[in-house]
Amino acid sequence: MSETPLGPNDIPQLYECLKTALSQDQHRQKQAEGTLEGLENRHGFTSCLAEIIGSKALDHGARWLAIIHFKNSISRHWRLRAGQGGITDEEKQHLRQKLGALIDQEDAQFAVQIAVCFAKVARQDFPKLWPSLFEDLTGHMQNGGSLASRRVYLVLHHVLKELATKRLATDQKNFAQVREKLYDPYFHQWLQDTQELLEKLPHGLEAPEQSLALSLTFERWLLLLKGLQRLLLFGFPSDAKSLESIPAIGQVAPAYVQSLQALHTVRERHVSQPGRKHSQLAAMLDRAVLKLAKCLTGLVAMHPWSMLHGGAFQLALDFACGQIVSHPPSSKPFEAFLMRCILYIHGVIKSPAYKGNMSSSFQVNLAARTQAATLKKLAAEAKTVLDSFWGTGRRQMLCLALIDEFLPLTARDLQQWGDCPESFHHEADVGSWEDHLRSCAETLFASLLEDDREGVAPVIVDLLKAKSEACPPGSAASQQGQRIGHIPATVLAKEAVYNALGVGAYDLHDYIDFKQWLQTALLQDMADTSAEAKPLRRRAAMLLGQWAVKLPATERPAAYRSLITLMAEGDAAVHLAAVNSLRELIEDWYFEEGPFMEFAAPALHLLAGLLNDSTELETQLQVFNLFNLIIERLADDVKPYASGILQLLPAVWQQAEGQSLLRIQVLIALQRLLNALGPDSPSSYGVLQPLLQHCTSPNQPDELNLLEDGLQLWLIALRNAPAQQPWLLDLFPNVCANMEKSTEHIVACSAIMQSCILLGGAEFLSAHSTALVDMICKLLGNVKERGMLLLLPVMALMLCALPEHMPAVMQPALQRLLHILLTDQESTQVTGGASGVFARLLLQSSGAFLNTLRQAEQSFAGQVPNIGQTTAHSGEQMLLAVTDLWLDKFDCVASPHARKLHALALCTLLTVPSGGILHRLESIVGHITSVWFEVEGNDGPGTLLYGHDYYQSPQQDSSDPALAASEDADGETTRRAMLQERDIVVHLKLSQYLKEKLAACQATHGQAFDAVFSQLPPNVAVQLRGALGEDR
């Protein structure tokens, strides 16, 4: 903050600035806002704002703007030290006192902002710098009037809310101390207010205009309830871990349940009265009932054992079940409250503690065995209580109530369906299941069925028979009786049972003969084209997907036919249900391409039509997901449809501008199609080229979302290309540009580099080798181990692809890599891989290898230990340093091809006229003979086949199906095989090559060689004679 502080004399100017900031004149307004922004960084600014807020005679708008700046200033500057732009300790002390004077705001919005400011300060300063916080607030409550008292409860609410979110152990301990101070006064005041509300609410609801005092009491009651709940949830350690009941829960929980029952009764009486008045008091009553139900659910989750032993467990469970089973029929049921009741029951059923789940119910410590025994005992007690509660057939009654009352489509649902079928279909996927009454009911039903499959499943099967008899297949249009939105109630009841059977499919597999059900009901329901049968058509289609694992192979064609027929229906909710179920059938483990082939063409045709007709993103994504899945599953069999698919994709791409998720689906479709086309992939280049140019460009606006899939598509195109394609290679500068910006996509880019080298060969390297080497130089040593292991095969491949010219071009990268090796900057695995690059260089051109070392010795003098410190022959020190490192890391090389390469390179090293190399003959021969034994010493010529694994990157993440499939593409497989045929490593025989190079070494060194050779250890000599064939 600025050194010049603001003081009392600056308050008038600041006040005028705040008023000007509210001016209608935009020029003056912007000037004032700029001035305020500058003043914010000066000491005293926050205190001046506090004075303006406290002056109630000033302009209301200016005071409101002041309080917003006041809150923001506290948020931004309170935590910082004074020297870092924070508020000074002296000003903080003043502001803590000033906050108390600002409590009694008449305006409710002002009061909320002041309470928030209190909470922000308390989070930072309590208890170290503001230990008297709660005593100060209590004093304001006792010494002030009724307004101050109400505002103190609001402040306490926000302070407790803020402090409860601090999860460090010391913070939790501090909050436990707060709970000790506040629990008793909070609970007793809440009980008093509860009694007053229950006495006065019935009359107050009838005459809300005369019940202002009661509304104020209700407001305090709600604040007390929220605070009390936080004290209980966060002021005690969870008894699910401590396994010790909390007495306070035993006090509060019964009071919660009794209050909930009483307030709910008051509400029901009020709602049932004709001509009732909607009032603030009635709205607060709704909030109270919801909050109490939520509190009980929270207590079961946080303190399950205290709830079980607190005297309210069964009472609350009985009340919640009663609301579900016997809630009064109403055109507008209290859905939010019913959802709370369902969530409470679900919380009890799924509680890990009541199931005796040790992994999540207690903390393992030294007394773990004792805790496990205690938990087992408690879980047995909970099971006894729950079995007694459910044992009277209540679980079955609850399931039937859920199906009969909550799962059927309502008139409102049918209206929404009619107004917008797409939105109706997608609504179930929006938000959490806890946000919708039907989703809550479905989840609770599934939990009840899972909890007691043997008891509930037969009841559901009987219900299915009853509803099916009441509404046989094909009779929807002729059903008599009540209709809801032109749909017979019997149809909706049957649809609800179908919904339940879909939700509980997994647990009902052993109770329903799905084949018989499919033949006698589901297929016929799907074939009923009457308007009245539409809900059944849709639900029957969904059931095929939910029961896919039970669909016999003999019935799959009929299922495909029915679903494809529904995909042609004009109603979006129906055809989207068919799309989703068809996707489930095709994704199923037992899917076979043969039976589906006759349906592939109509399915793709219909899906293309749906893509063209819909503008809803979620619909397009679901349709395209199935579209791509069919392409993937059919693989090569999709070729007959490739032309039509390629005609569709450009239009979808254009329509999806700004919708990256849909464009990604287009890229995925092309990836899979290219793999299917294989050598015929050039037929797609008309569509592919503009898309690749757009997606791989580092400057395209949607780079963040499209680049990864664009790079994968490019890689797949390169791998499948049957011959050199100039435009595919001309995109290479995009790799360099993207790697310049970030190494996030180094896996894909390194694979693209290799594929470009394989496809383009000498022409590609002539055009792009300089840029490629420059990029590699920038990356070497600046990426993690995985990145280094991806770059090294690229360097090796360059040397192998163009051995005559690449050593000179690659000198900068080779020098950089050599420096990294000798300074020991990388892991053993990287060092072993990097040694392989120099082994390749030495084997293919010993002159280039030695020249590289001579250049390095000149440039590394003084940078690498022991280099440039003697007058040895040029390159001698570097040669020996590299040789020692090489020999030390030789056994880190695991690949058979790479080990043979290293061994052949060591053979070549013997011909270098260096006494130092001769003195290392024992180690060199030892490594060579060990590899000889692996590849030739087993008397089985040809048993070890050398693949081209050395030219491939380390195992890449091929979790993407299209990318994994492209690894075996004919085009790149052929090119790698051709490179392998030219590889000297494959054709040289190690024993013969060793014999030749030993002879050359002897000719070079003469008697010195004989002397060293004669001193070889016996075991090494035996191995060497075996390799040379002298012992046979």
DSSP, residue by residue, 347-389:
HHHT-TTTTT-HHHHS---TTHHHHHHHHHHHHHHHHHHHHHH
Q: What whole-number distance in Å separates Cα of residue 887 and Cα of residue 458?
A: 74
- Do residues 990 and 936 touch, judged by C-beta distance below 8 A? yes
> Could you tell me which residues are beta bridge partners of residue 484?
487
Which residue among 546, 577, 608 closes a domain?
A: 577
Task: With respect to residue 860, please indicate whether it lies within any of the assigned structural domains.
Answer: yes
pLDDT tens track for 110-148: 999 999 999 999 999 999 999 999 999 999 888 878 888
Which residue among 347, 370, 390 closes a domain?
A: 390
Angle separating helix axes 746-779 and 811-822, nearest 10 degrees: 90
> Is residue 525 over pLDDT 90?
yes
Among 45-49, 249-253, 405-409, 702-706, the least confident range: 702-706
Check whether residue 944 and residue 830 sit in a common domain. yes
Task: With respect to residue 755, please indicate whether it lies within any of the assigned structural domains.
Answer: no
Task: With respect to residue 119, please indicate whether it lies within any of the assigned structural domains.
Answer: no
Show Cβ contacts of residue 135 under 8 Å, excluding neighbours closer than 6 positions: none
Check whether residue 383 and residue 399 sit in a common domain. no
Structure confidence at residue 72 as a pLDDT band (50, 70, 90): very high
Task: With respect to residue 759, please indicate whether it lies within any of the assigned structural domains.
Answer: no
Check whether residue 360 and residue 405 sit in a common domain. no
Joined together, the tokens standing for residue 304 give: 């399950």
The CB-based long-range contact list for 77-80 (8 Å cut-off, 24+ gap) reads 77/1, 77/46, 78/120, 78/121, 78/124, 79/124
- Do residues 927 and 813 touch, judged by C-beta distance below 8 A? no
Which residue among 367, 390, 413 closes a domain?
A: 390
Check whether residue 516 and residue 376 sit in a common domain. no
Q: What whole-number distance in Å separates Cα of residue 602 and Cα of residue 578?
A: 14
pLDDT tens track for 171-228: 999 999 999 999 999 999 999 999 999 999 999 888 877 788 899 999 999 999 999 9
Structure confidence at residue 877 as a pLDDT band (50, 70, 90): confident
> Is residue 362 over pLDDT 60?
no
Check whether residue 853 and residue 934 sit in a common domain. yes
Dihedral sign, Cα of residue 161, residue 164, residue 170, residue 173: positive
pLDDT tens track for 219-238: 999 999 999 999 999 999 99
| Domain total in the chain | 3
Q: What whole-number distance in Å separates Cα of residue 881 and Cα of residue 863?
A: 13
Mean pLDDT of the chain: 90
> Is residue 709 over pLDDT 50?
yes
Task: With respect to residue 44, please indicate whether it lies within any of the assigned structural domains.
Answer: no
pLDDT tens track for 945-1001: 444 454 454 445 556 788 888 888 999 999 999 998 888 898 899 999 999 999 999
Alpha helices in 951-989 (DSSP H): 961-966, 970-982, 984-987
- Do residues 887 and 923 touch, judged by C-beta distance below 8 A? yes
User: What is this structure's pTM?
Assistant: 0.86
Supply the DSSP symbol for 798. H
Check whether residue 313 and residue 401 sit in a common domain. no
Check whether residue 295 and residue 320 sit in a common domain. yes
pLDDT tens track for 381-433: 999 999 999 988 999 999 999 999 999 999 999 999 999 999 999 987 777 88
Which run of H or of E encompasses 180?
A: helix 169-206
CA angle, 944 then 948 then 952, to 5° = 135
Q: What whole-number distance in Å separates Cα of residue 538 and Cα of residue 529?
A: 11
Check whether residue 431 and residue 349 sit in a common domain. no
pLDDT of the residue at 946: 43
Check whether residue 366 and residue 408 sit in a common domain. no
Q: Residue 845: which domain range?
A: 795-956+989-1028
Check whether residue 384 and residue 410 sit in a common domain. no
Check whether residue 951 and residue 855 sit in a common domain. yes
Check whether residue 383 and residue 509 sit in a common domain. no
pLDDT of the residue at 941: 47
Mean pLDDT for the stretch of residues 151-180: 96
Mean pLDDT for the stretch of residues 47-54: 95
What are phi and psi for residue 484, nearest 5 degrees? -120, 115
pLDDT tens track for 794-837: 999 999 999 999 999 999 999 999 999 888 878 889 998 999 99
Specify the 3-state DSSP secondary structure of 590. coil
Q: What whole-number distance in Å separates Cα of residue 355 and Cα of residue 348?
A: 10
Taking phi over 0 as left and psi of -120 to 50 as alpha, with beta for the rest, 575 belongs to alpha
Task: With respect to residue 163, please indicate whether it lies within any of the assigned structural domains.
Answer: no
With CA atoms as reference, report the closest residue to 175 among 183, 24, 4, 505: 183
Task: With respect to residue 966, please indicate whether it lies within any of the assigned structural domains.
Answer: no
pLDDT of the residue at 333: 72
Q: Please give the single-letter amino acid code of residue 285.
A: L
Mean pLDDT for the stretch of residues 692-705: 87
> Could you tell me which residues are beta bridge partners of residue 488?
483
pLDDT tens track for 257-266: 999 999 999 9
Task: With respect to residue 124, please indicate whether it lies within any of the assigned structural domains.
Answer: no
With CA atoms as reference, report the closest residue to 896 among 938, 852, 950: 950
